[in-house]
Amino acid sequence: MPRNGPKTLGFCLPGDLLQCYRSHHQVQTAWQSVWRQCIATPLSVHTYPVRFERGRLTVHADAAVWASQLRHQLKRLQQSLQKQPLFADLNEIQVRVRPPATALTPAQAQESPPRPVLSAPARQLLRKLADSVQDPDLSRSLKRLSESK
pLDDT digits over 82-127, tens only? Answer: 898 888 888 999 999 987 765 555 555 556 555 557 788 888 888 8
Local structure of 131: helix, strand or coil: helix
Q: Could you tell me the CA-to-CA distances from 13 to 26, 41, 139, 141, 144 in Å, in that order?
A: 17, 37, 13, 16, 18
CA torsion, points 16, 17, 18, 21, in degrees to nearest 10?
Answer: 130
User: Can you tell me the distance from the alpha carbon of 132 to that of 140, in angstroms, rounded to the nearest whole number?
Assistant: 12
Cis geometry, peptide bond prior to residue 42 (ω within 30 degrees of 0): yes
From-to residues of CATH 3.30.300.180 in the chain: 13-100
pLDDT digits over 3-56, tens only? Answer: 666 766 666 666 666 666 666 667 778 888 888 888 888 888 888 888 888 889
**Superfamily (CATH H level) for 13-100:** DnaA, N-terminal domain (3.30.300.180)
